[in-house]
Amino acid sequence: MTYFFIKRCILCGLPCSGMDGDTYSVPVCSSCTAELDEWKNLYRNQCPTCGTFLLWQRQDCPRCHESEGESPLETIRCVGPFRGIGRRIVLAYKKSGYRRLCGLCADLLEPSLAQSSHDCLIVPVPSQQKNVRKRGFDHMACICRELAARTNCGYASLLIHLQEEQKGLTRQQRLDSHGYALKHLLFFRRTAISRIPWKTMLLVDDVRTSGGTLHHCAGLLSNVFQMPIHGLVLCDEP
């Protein structure tokens, strides 16, 4: 007796036939693959500084035009928009805790790491602990560990998300920190930071809305680490 295992698309549940579903490390049907392929066209023209989708290559970037002052981030790259399939992937992974999507998110982010070599340290933007507990895993840490394993980059969880109930912090301190803080700050100060073998840092998040989170996290890291910091996000919400 022969059993046939039908691969089902991880995103829509439809069966994949033949070679369908082999583009990514998890099964994705041909129509969902086509939707993801559109991202490559859409984000071909992106601002080299902030990663915003531009209509044509030499267009003035509206986001860079609006932002004032120096950013602690050298560049930000975005893979796709936070709508349609991008929105479905992020919500299913982050809100519904569908952990198998970690591999797909890593597949989508990985080509943007090709330029960075093994001397890059990948750092996730941290989630709130209560959401990690609810979901059962830290969704960005999983993606970053996967990316580091595939690319020989380093991985370090350097930041924490401060809780409302965080002890020892006044309300003003929480507001000043924008909800994020460096872990083990004293440890980093005492360790000879110059001996760290990585030359660049890559801060990775799922969605960029205003860019405030990336900006504040990169600011915290740049206070301690003397290396260029780049940002990478899966979905951009312009």
**Residues making contact with Zn ion (CB under 5 A):** 9, 11-12, 29, 32, 47, 49-50, 52, 61, 63-64
Distance between CA atoms of residues 16 and 10, nearest Å: 10
Which residue lies nearer to Zn ion by CB, 15 or 111? 15
Which residue lies nearer to Zn ion by CB, 9 or 104? 9
Contacts of 72 (CB under 8 A, 6+ apart): 215, 218, 219, 221, 222, 229
The helix (H) or strand (E) run that includes residue 120 is strand 120-124
Which residue lies nearer to Zn ion by CB, 14 or 169? 14
Distance between CA atoms of residues 166 and 161, nearest Å: 10
DSSP state letters, 215-231: HHHHHHHHHH--S-EEE
Which residue lies nearer to Zn ion by CB, 23 or 166? 23
Which residue lies nearer to Zn ion by CB, 23 or 177? 23
Distance between CA atoms of residues 131 and 121, nearest Å: 25
Kindly state the smallest distance separating residue 13's Cβ from Zn ion, in Å: 7
Which residue lies nearer to Zn ion by CB, 64 or 185? 64
Kindly state the smallest distance separating residue 166's Cβ from Zn ion, in Å: 34
DSSP state letters, 55-87: SSTTPPPHHHHH--S--S-S-EEEEEESSTHHH
Kindly state the smallest distance separating residue 79's Cβ from Zn ion, in Å: 16
CB count within 10 Å of CB 5 equals: 5
Kindly state the smallest distance separating residue 158's Cβ from Zn ion, in Å: 26
Kindly state the smallest distance separating residue 140's Cβ from Zn ion, in Å: 23
Which residue from 215, 125, 122 is spatially nearest to 161, judged by alpha carbons? 125
Kindly state the smallest distance separating residue 64's Cβ from Zn ion, in Å: 3
